[in-house]
Amino acid sequence: MTRPASSRPGGCSTSRTRPSTPTIGRRPGTPWTATSRNSPRARRSRSCASGARCCATSVASRDPFALRVEAGLRGRGLTLRGFCRAAGLDASFFSKVLAGKRSPPSDEGMLRRIAEVLGLDAVELIVAAGRIPAEWSALWDDAVLFKEVHARASTGGRVTPMGPIACGRRPAGPRRPPEPQTEILPHKGLSEELL
């Protein structure tokens, strides 16, 4: 019978001990480690083509802002720290943004600087961060434009452009003459019969 590590001579309860069941693929006498070469954690850290560990967070994060920033980092060949130095950001904070633990910056100027450093379209990055760029101020002023953009955005862009009828205007062209109105007279026969 095997005694616990704390009751063995020279044993310590906090030291790592070998598991009681043999591990397949491990040679006898080799020390047991918590993370082997083929563990899921080790495979995940080696799965990135560039060798960086950034992809471990991108798999879990489906945030459009994070996906665009990570694509920009890969496209420019920048590390997160190098990018943060160039953009004037805190690397710890921005790491949490990419992991989905914090919201993207809300300042439009900061988002434009991020897009500039990464070589991305600023408006696309601002929208991916959940903000409305200043160039789109017409959306607040023009209700028809807002409805069209909303219809396209909510259906994934499968809406045809809104014509003049959908916008509340009639198309130019010949008009049909109005139909003659027929006079509707009350029928006395049925009502008198029922009385």
Among candidates 71, 74, 52, 53, which has minimal Cα distance to 63?
Answer: 71
Which of residues 125 and 170 earns the better pLDDT score? 125
Amino acid at 140: W
Describe the chain by its helix, strand, coil percentages, rounded to 5.
45, 0, 55
Domains of the chain: 47-136 (1.10.260.40)
Which of residues 153 and 106 earns the better pLDDT score? 106
pLDDT by residue (tens digit) across 35-65? 545 555 555 544 444 444 444 444 444 789 9
pLDDT of residue 112: 96
Those residues with Cβ within 8 angstroms of residue 6's Cβ, 6 or more apart along the chain or in another chain: 12, 13
Please give the average per-residue pLDDT across 121-140, as a whole number: 90
> For residues 73, 79, 82 and 86, what is the CA-based torsion angle, rounded to 10 degrees?
10
Lowest mean pLDDT among 86-95, 109-118, 175-184: 175-184
pTM of the model: 0.49
Residue 2's pLDDT band (cuts 50, 70, 90): low
Q: Residue 133 pLDDT > 70, yes or no?
A: yes
pLDDT by residue (tens digit) across 61-94? 478 999 999 999 999 999 999 999 999 999 999 9
Please give the average per-residue pLDDT across 5-29, as a whole number: 51
